[in-house]
A and B are shown apart, each in its own frame.
Chain A
Amino acid sequence: MSESINEKTIVNSKSLRWKLGPLWSLVSLLLLVYLVTVGNSYLGDSVSVQMQYALVNLVIVVALYMFIGTSGVLSFGHVAFVALGAWTVGLLTIDPTLKRNLLSDLFPFLFELQAPWLPAILIGGLVGGLLALIVGPVLMRLNGLQAGIATFALLLVVGQVLTYWSSIGPRSGQSMVGIPEVLDLQTTMLFALGAIIFAWLYQRTRPARLLRATREDGIAAAAAGINIVTQRTIAFALSGVVAGVAGGLFALTNRVVQASLFGIELTFITLAMLVLGGMLSLSGAVIGALVFSLIDLILVRFQNGLEIGSYVVSLPQGARPIILGVILVLMLIFRPSGLTGGREIVWPFRRTAPLPGVPPTNE
């Protein structure tokens, strides 16, 4: 009966189409981000600011995808790396005098420690990646629910430490203020594009392919000699760097940093964006983040009162997060694979095979 092979799996790997497909998916994503950013920047200052936050969130979601999408393991802890990135940038860019006055309990060497904002962001990324690298070998042995809980515990530990350890930051209840206003929308977009390229490059490397193999069947992969913990740690660390960079961007966007900003709420929102777009593809991460942010932008408009014809429609305060939450839950019920279904953008190169590595089966 079914002797015919599914046409989609027949590809001539030497064909130009086959080689250009993945490149196109990257370019299309970059274009998409560019267009959305530029489009929104014309809509006024407040929208520009929101767009900047949206781009920061996009970078976080890309970081999440790099780990969760490749390894198939859930992480609730990436916002901890975001926090570290933000902390680093805050400490490095706030004026020393301000630091002495407002963050008086700091270690003395931190008062004078300064860096220009651009290197500071990159250092922030490295700090995030460093923590990921340290806890990686330990946490990466866990699967599924246990990994989720362990990374969640990591998030909480970091949150507690940053809240109360006043030698490295503000006292509990206070915030880091005075981060300079040097980051504009364009630069943020460039960072976002860079993050996407970074993730795209990573997923084409051998470690990433090996890791995807473990997604489907960990036992078979281990039997084939793939060191699961090593591969996961690599992905964890690299995604930690990207998350740290996002934290730096956040610090420069928000210009105020405190531990409570990096907790369950941000974890949930970024995870929601990833789920919305589709956990298993880079396109999913980007599209999910953009769509979610756009919906949010629209809802804000409604909240402030939108004129439709002769009516003014406005949302009650507090309805916005509820609507977002409902969308997420509905998405999970009816289309858990997300808007992209775990596929990359392939049109017009329709014959491109999906990334090697099959999505995990549901029990």
Chain B
Amino acid sequence: MNSLRPTWERAVVSADSSQALVGGLSVDGLEVSYAGVPAVRGIGLEVPAGHAIGLIGPNGAGKSSALLGIMGAVPRSGSVRVAGQDVDGLSPEQVVRRGVSLVPEGRHVFTGLSVRDNLRLGGVGRRAKEGYTETLEYVLELFPILAEFNNRQAGLLSGGQQQQLAIGRALMADPDILMLDEPSLGLSPTAVDSVFDALNAIRSAGKAVLVVEQRAEFTVAFCEKTYVLHDGEITLELKPEDADNVEKLTEAYFG
């Protein structure tokens, strides 16, 4: 188990809920169904600024649906608040402008366009036009590979590089809340490490990060709190201390 510990291991400050939810995401009673079949059955979670919250669970548990529901990309009921403000009834592109960005499952970079154009498009969803250059600089610092491959067609990048591009693209919108759907999917361990290194930096910069993952161990170790989603419902809450607890993890997945 220990060999799987990522390199950013640090003393995790436990999530203090009295810490300001300023700039945070607050979800309550979220429900998502497709043609009458429920995928998310009323979940609630909080992602405070400067924290990373994990959402894990087996396939089909409803994790992606939850993220899409928060973004307003699929019909949902329940309350979603961004920095205390309700985002009910907003379309995805409007939710982006409220400060929430989603890095979708499978990355979905615009393969026919260059890295630079992908980033440029990410900036379309910004709330304020000012600060564009600063954000771009920040992104390129965070992911130097994007600067190196600035003119390369996005479809030619490797999986890990595309993941970085997808995150960078999402960051270009200058969000307060960053959500990622299975960023480690299909990536080599080294690539996963660098992605989570970047997420660490993003968290430290004060953003709220919500990570959906299938792989439990390092998510639980990374995030201040990790929720376990099972068949549309949250069944368990895990702390980083639980990352080594094989029993508890197994229970989470098969309980």
| A→B interface (CB under 8 Å) | 1-2, 361
Contact = CB atoms under 8 A, between A and B. Distances in A.
A1 B41 CA distance: 9
Interface residues on B, range: under 10
B29 to A, nearest CB: 13
Contacts of B38: 1-2
A1 B35 CA distance: 16
Contacts of B35: 361
A108 B35 CA distance: 63
Nearest to B37: A2
Contacts of A1: 38, 41
A1 B38 CA distance: 10
Q: Is the interface of B mostly helix, strand, loop or mixed?
A: strand
Interface of B: 35, 38, 41
A361 B36 CA distance: 13
4 contacts: A1-B38, A1-B41, A2-B38, A361-B35
A1 B36 CA distance: 12
Contacts of A361: 35
A361 B35 CA distance: 10
A29 to B, nearest CB: 29
A1 B232 CA distance: 12
Contacts of B41: 1
A171 B83 CA distance: 77
A23 B244 CA distance: 65
A362 to B, nearest CB: 10
A33 B24 CA distance: 64
A323 to B, nearest CB: 35
Nearest to A6: B36
Nearest to B42: A1
A273 to B, nearest CB: 29
B247 to A, nearest CB: 29
A2 B35 CA distance: 13
A130 to B, nearest CB: 42
B43 to A, nearest CB: 14
A337 to B, nearest CB: 14
A341 to B, nearest CB: 15
Nearest to B233: A1
Contacts of A2: 38
A274 to B, nearest CB: 25
Nearest to A361: B35
B255 to A, nearest CB: 19
A2 B232 CA distance: 13
A192 to B, nearest CB: 37
A242 B93 CA distance: 50
A319 to B, nearest CB: 39
A354 to B, nearest CB: 15
A150 to B, nearest CB: 28
